[in-house]
Structure formats: C-alpha cells, structure tokens
Amino acid sequence: MADDGDLVLRAARPDDAEAIAALWHAGWRDGHAGHVPDELHRHRRLADFRDRVPPRLPTTTVGARDGRIVGFVTVHEDEVEQVYVAGPARGTGVAAVLLAAAERAVAERFDTAWLAVAVGNTRARRFYARNGWRDAAALDYPAEAGATPVVVACRRYEKRVR
C-alpha cells in the first residue's frame, strides 16, 4: 500500500468489484463514445463490466480517497490494459500516480510496457505523452466483445520501464 497525500494506492480486493465496474462503465463512455465501432457499445453495459472485473482483480491496483475508489489500473503481462479515473478526480494527479504504479508492476518482469488507446481518445493520448509514453505505431486492437472481438483502430504507445 502506498499513500500519496490523501490518495491511497492498494491492490484491488474482491469487495471492490462493484465500485470498479461502475467507474469503468462510466469512464469507458467518456473515452470511447464516437471513437469505436457502434457495435461495441452493446458489449459495454454495466453488466459486461461486472463480468470483466473479477478476472482482472489480481492485477488491478486501485486509488482511493476517503475510502472511496477514484481510479484503477490493470496490467496484463507487459500491457497496461486499463487506466480509469472517476470524472471528479480527473486533473488531480491521480491518473499519473496510478499509471506509475502500473509501470512498476510491468517492470517486475519486462523492460518495456505498452498500451492501446483509441485513435480519437485525445485526452488519454495527451496524458500518456505527458507521462513519457511514445506513440509507437498504429494498432488494430481486438476489444473483448462476447464470442467475437470488435476491432478498434488504436495507437500503440510504449515506454521503457526499467
């Protein structure tokens, strides 16, 4: 557990699942509406996020203020797979602290971390660039969507983490 001012970083617990799913559901629209194929929206209901959270809990770190989750990151191998901050906590530095935690997690086993960001998600792209990530390539990312993934036009960002 790490404490950054009033922000507490800690490993996600099973009883965090509902709060993470709600935050992810709301934040997904903010980052993706208009930037992904329409068909993906029907796979991004709250119920879908409730299904997607539990398998990720072992590799999820949450940021909490006053006991409430204000953001989370998830890693998968060398990929920083999810970075989400609740609306009111954006612009407060929480996102950079969470991203640094994900980079440390990847650095335990890999030299370079990568992530996929939708081409049109310019706020996230600026955030990654500000935090030392390099726009490395175009990437057609197969987003989870039931039996058949939906391909999303993304950019692949990379950062050396050790």
Residues that bind ligand COA (CB under 6 A): 27, 30-31, 83-85, 90-91, 95, 117, 121, 123-124, 126-127, 130
Comparison of 85 and 139: residue with beta carbon closer to ligand COA: 85
Minimum distance, C-beta of residue 157 to ligand COA, in the bound complex (Å)? 9
Amino acid found at 49: F
Using DSSP, state whether 78 is helix, strand or coil.
Answer: coil
User: Residue 50: how many CB atoms within 10 A of its CB?
Assistant: 16
Q: Which is nearer to ligand COA, 11 or 96 (CB)?
A: 96
User: What's the min distance (Å) between Cβ of 17 and ligand COA?
Assistant: 18
Q: Which is nearer to ligand COA, 59 or 147 (CB)?
A: 59
- Min separation Cβ 153 and ligand COA, Å: 13
**Minimum distance, C-beta of residue 98 to ligand COA, in the bound complex (Å):** 8
| Tokens standing for residue 119 | 């081409």
- Non-local (6+) Cβ contacts of 154 within 8 A are 116, 117, 118, 119, 138, 139, 140, 141
Quote the least distance from Cβ 84 to ligand COA, whole Å.
5
Largest CA distance in the chain: 43
Q: Detail the DSSP E strand segments found in 23-129.
A: 60-65, 68-76, 79-85, 112-118
Q: What's the CA angle centered on 46, arms 50 and 29, to 5 degrees? A: 125
Beta carbon nearer to ligand COA, 123 or 160: 123
> 97 or 161, CB closer to ligand COA?
97
- Closest residue to ligand COA, based on beta-carbon distance: 91
